[in-house]
Structure formats: C-alpha cells, structure tokens
Structure 1
C-alpha cells in the first residue's frame, strides 16, 4: 500500500503537527505500507486561489500543467490521509482550495449526464484526522455533522472513494484534552492499518 499524507496547518509547533508526526511514525512501522509521500500545503506554498479567465478555463483545470505533480500524487496513492484543524466548522481555506483545484471534472470524476457522475478515483481509501477547540461532538450536535457530510458525501463519495475513516478530536486547547492518549490512538492505527 502507498500512502499520501496531506498536512494543512501553518504552524509546525501545533498539536495538529504532532498528529501528522504520529501518522508518519506509525506508517513507517506498518508492514502493509510500502511507501509514504508527504505534502505540507503551507510549506509547499500551494496556491489555493482559483483563477478563471480567457487563458485559464474551469473545464481545463484537470489538465493544468501547474497541478500535474499533485495529480500524480493522488493517482499514485492507495490511501490518502488528511491532517487538519476544524476552523468555523470546516477544514481550512488552504485545504478547501486544494480540493477545489485537485478534485476537478475530467480528473476526479466524469459527468455522465445523470444525477451522479462517474467517480474516477475508485479503489482508494481516505482517512481524515481533524482537531478542534470545541467538544468532540460539537459538529454532530450543533452543525448536523456538516464536516463529515462535506468530506464524505459531497467530496469523496462523489469521486468514487467509498472507504472514508474519520478521527475528530475535540477539546484540543484544554489541559484535559487527553492529548497523549489521542496521539497514541493515531500512532497505533497507522502502525497496523491495511487498505
């Protein structure tokens, strides 16, 4: 199995970065994971801003040469792991910009003229690891599970990815947030996970 780990947080001293490191550590000890590639969107200075004009049309985004490297990473990966904070009930704008650009028609899905498209990223799996200041169940009870609906139904299922696992960690700015316990949970998961 080949894993692509996408980290989206501007601070390498954050707790989010500690989760990123645990993913790497656990994956490196997992006999099922042959290779890991890392993508730090802030360090990479990924440009999340969409630009459409006479030279850059939305329908051509799937073949934009400036995004070729990132398309190759997604094609290469069997498992795609996203590590990010929840801000205002959703992933950061940087990650949403990556999603807008990378999960484009002609690359991630193909319209068939019906209600749903043909997902072109079938067979892959996704793990979403997110941290938030509020309680763990805040997105479920206050936001009608908007984060999971957005990521699983509106994005991953749409492009053909059916196997999606979530780790939503709340109370991360509290001294009672059980940080070590949660970090070890991620380490152990990636130490043994299969496809």
Structure 2
C-alpha cells in the first residue's frame, strides 16, 4: 500500500503535528504500507488561490503544469490521509484550495450523461484525521454532520472513493481532552491498517 499524507496546519509545535508524527511512526511499522510520502501544504507554500482568465480556464485545470507533481502524488497513492483542524465547521482554506485545484474534471472525475459523473479515483481509500476546539459531537449535533457530508459525499464519493474513515477529535484545547490516548489510537490504527 502506497500512502500519501497531506498535512494542513501552519505550526510544527502543535497537536496536529503530533498526530502527523504518530501517523508516520505507525505507517513505518506497518508491513502493509510499502511507501509513504508526506505533503505539508504550508511548508510547501502551496498556493490555494484559483485564478481563471481567458488563458487559464477551469476546465483545463487537469493540465495545469504548476500542480502536476501533486496530481502525480494522488495518482501514485493507494491511501490518502488528510490531517487538519476543523475551523468554522470545515477544513482550513489552504486544504480547500488544494482540493479545488487537484480534484478537478478530467483528473478526479469525468462528466458523462446523467446526474453524477464518473469518478476517476476509484480503488483509493481516504482517512481524515481532524481536530477541533469544541466537543467531538459538535459537528454532528450542531452542524448536522456538515464536515463529514462535505468530505465524504460532496467530494470523495463524487470522485469514486468509497472507503473513507474519519477520526474527529474534539476538546483538543482542553486539559481533559485525552490527547495522549487519541494520539495512541492514531498510531495503532496506522500500525495495523491493511487497506
């Protein structure tokens, strides 16, 4: 299994970075994970802005040479892991800008007759590891599960990815947030995952 981890947090002295380190440690100890790549969007200085003009059109994003290396990473990966905070009920703008550019027509999906397109990323799996200040049940009870619906139905299902696993960790700024236990949970998951 080839695994791509996309890390989206601007601080390497953070809990999100600690989760990233546990993912790397568990993956390196897992015989099912043959190769691992990490993409740190902030360290990479990824430009999340979409710019369209008469020379650069939305329908041509799948050929944009500026993001070819990122398309190559997604094509290469069997499993894509996203590590990010939930801010205002959704992933950060940096990650959404990456998604807007990478999960484009004729790369991630192809329009066809009918209501839904053909997903071109079939066979891949996704894991979302997200943290938030509020309670774990906040997205479910207050926001009608908007985060998971956005990621699973509006994005991953649309591009053909059916296997999606979520770890939504709440109360992460609290002294009673059980951070050590949650870090261990992530480490053990990536040490043992087999697809």
Bin of the TM-score, shorter chain as denominator length: over 0.9
1:95 aligns with 2:95: yes
Partner residue in 1 for 2:118: 118
Rounded to whole Å, the distance in 1 between the matches of 2:71 and 2:181 is 35
- Stretches of structure 2 that go unaligned for 5 or more consecutive residues are none
SS at match of 1:82: strand
1:2 aligns with 2:2: yes
Query: Residues 35-54 of structure 1 correspond to what in structure 2 (within 5 A)?
Result: 35-54=35-54
What per-residue deviation string (whole Å, max 9, x for no partner) do you get for residues 5-36 of structure 1? 00000011110110011000000000000000
Query: Residues 129-168 of structure 1 correspond to what in structure 2 (within 5 A)?
Result: 129-168=129-168
Partner residue in 2 for 1:73: 73
- Stretches of structure 1 that go unaligned for 5 or more consecutive residues are none
1:55 CA displacement: 1.4
Partner residue in 1 for 2:180: 180
SS at match of 2:141: helix
1:54 CA displacement: 1.4
Query: Residues 10-21 of structure 1 correspond to what in structure 2 (within 5 A)?
Result: 10-21=10-21
Partner residue in 2 for 1:128: 128
Rounded to whole Å, the distance in 2 between the matches of 1:84 and 1:98 is 13
Show structure 1 runs of 4+ deviating over 6 A.
Answer: none
Rounded to whole Å, the distance in 2 between the matches of 1:92 and 1:112 is 31
Rounded to whole Å, the distance in 2 between the matches of 1:158 and 1:169 is 25
SS at match of 1:36: strand
SS at match of 1:161: coil
Rounded to whole Å, the distance in 2 between the matches of 1:56 and 1:17 is 35
1:113 CA displacement: 2.4
Rounded to whole Å, the distance in 1 between the matches of 2:42 and 2:180 is 25
What per-residue deviation string (whole Å, max 9, x for no partner) do you get for residues 66-90 of structure 1? 0100000000000000000000000
Rounded to whole Å, the distance in 1 between the matches of 2:162 and 2:169 is 22
